[in-house]
Amino acid sequence: MLSILRGFLILTAFLMLGDITVELFALPLSSGVAGMLLLTFWLLLRRRLSHDLTAASQPLIGMLALLIMPGVVGIFFQADEFSGQWLAIFIALILGTLLSSLTTLWLMQHLVSTPRERPHE
Amino acid sequence: MSELLLRLEILTSELPQRPETAIVLTLAAYFAGLRLFGWLRSPAWCPPILLAACLLAGLLALLPLDYTEYRHGVGWLTWLLGPATVALGVPLYQQVHHIRTLWKPIVLTLPPAAILAAGYAVGIAWLLDAPPTVLASLAPKSVTAPIAMGITQELGGSVSLLMGALLITGVMATLSITLLARWGNIHDQRVIGFALGLNGHAIGTVRAFDIGPTAGAFASLGMSLTGVFTALWLPLMWHFLG
């Protein structure tokens, strides 16, 4: 239990660091993302993952679906705002995702099977 | 007796605004959604979060509770998204060794694929005359929710519309990658997993873990890298294009 709290302290401290970095350099990032990047760099430098950090991050990541629920629910109460846009939204999402899935599979498959091929060299 | 009624009246006007009300409703709907998901035998096209959100919306509509009041009350829970987003750095660090084994295809695929994942949808919506708010809400559609929320707020989109877009994208990416891999005769778990994570964020990653542990590992790598990469380029590009 104390381990989780220590890990939570580290995570929140990195969130604060992220917040400070974003504010100070006027970065177009959310403080959470900045904190995540800083934490990753710090871990890459240290090359060691403490038990505290794993203990705190695992339950938090497992809770993500719960944490985003209040945002998801909003769509039911703000649907009027986008009336008349729904067809465009659905076409963009469905067609766009189909095309991007196709592109990724094609690119990755070609690059994995012919690793020596370098189109720009 | 009249005093008791008076107190009851005060309570009914105060209770909707309290954090505990919002948190009890959210948690109850969450667990009911999970239970319902189990009863429906875990359908791939309908993630438990969608069921839970529908239940919560139903509760909010039935009870004398305003959505803005609820948003205010539930602030304590949504604040946890901050540390949870930071926590995503831990699995990202744990996946880094996969980059070392296959760095060239990953490094060459990630930028164009992540840019197109946003670009196709925004381009199509723009051609169909969607307003800037809608474009800003659709742009981070392939990014994992906590990162995507931060991005769309930067761009001036609607978090709620983004959430709907994330659900549709996740389900659609899972379906299309499964079918396309079958038609294209692609069996490499690393390729399928990476594509699932890159396009279908958390929903695609869950599907990848069904396929196998290698697919799952590459999906979480694809998801994290897409999140980080998109969080860096999209706001910059957006400001640049105005």
Same domain, A55 and A93: no
Same domain, A35 and A87: no
Residue A28 has pLDDT above 80, yes or no: no
According to the model, what pLDDT value does residue A117 have?
A: 45
Contact B34/A at CB under 8 A:
no
Same domain, A63 and A94: no
Number of domains chain A is built from: 2
Same domain, A85 and A59: no
Same domain, A61 and A120: no
Residue A121 has pLDDT above 50, yes or no: no
Same domain, A53 and A103: no
Same domain, A10 and A51: yes
Contact residues on chain B for A71, CB-CB shorter than 8 A: 78, 145, 149, 159-160, 162-163
Same domain, A45 and A87: no
Choosing among B46, B81, B85, B152, which should be mutated to test the A contact, i.e. which has the most A CBs within 10 A?
B85
Question: Residue range A16-39: average pLDDT?
Answer: 89
Per-residue pLDDT of chain B (242 residues; tens, 9 = 90+): 788 888 888 887 777 778 888 999 999 999 999 999 889 887 766 778 888 988 999 988 888 788 888 888 888 888 998 999 899 889 888 888 777 888 888 999 999 999 999 999 999 999 999 999 999 999 999 998 888 988 998 899 998 899 889 988 988 999 999 999 999 999 899 999 999 999 998 888 888 888 888 888 888 889 889 998 999 899 888 888 76
What number of helices (H) and strands (E) belong to chain B? 13, 0
What angle is formed at CA A91 by the lines to CA B210 and CA A88, rounded to 5 degrees?
135
Q: b/e for B219-231, b at 16 or more Cβ within 10 A?
A: bbbbbbbbbbbbb
According to the model, what pLDDT value does residue B29 have?
A: 93
B8 CA to centre of own chain: 40
Cβ(A48)–Cβ(A68) below 8 Å: no
Arithmetic mean of pLDDT over chain A? 87
Same domain, A105 and A59: no
The Cα B119–Cα B127 span in angstroms is 12
Same domain, A32 and A61: yes
Contact B65/A at CB under 8 A:
no
Residue A5 has pLDDT above 50, yes or no: yes
Residue A6 has pLDDT above 90, yes or no: yes
Q: How far is B38 from chain A (nearest CA, A)?
A: 16
Same domain, A39 and A68: yes
Cβ(B209)–Cβ(B215) below 8 Å: yes
Which domain does A45 fall in, by range? 1-77
Q: How far is A100 from chain B (nearest CA, A)?
A: 5
Q: What are the tens digits of pLDDT across the range A36-86?
A: 889 999 999 998 889 999 999 989 988 888 888 888 888 888 877 888 888
Same domain, A52 and A107: no
Q: What are the tens digits of pLDDT across the range B152-207?
A: 988 999 988 998 899 889 889 999 999 999 999 998 999 999 999 999 988 888 88
According to the model, what pLDDT value does residue B9 have?
A: 83
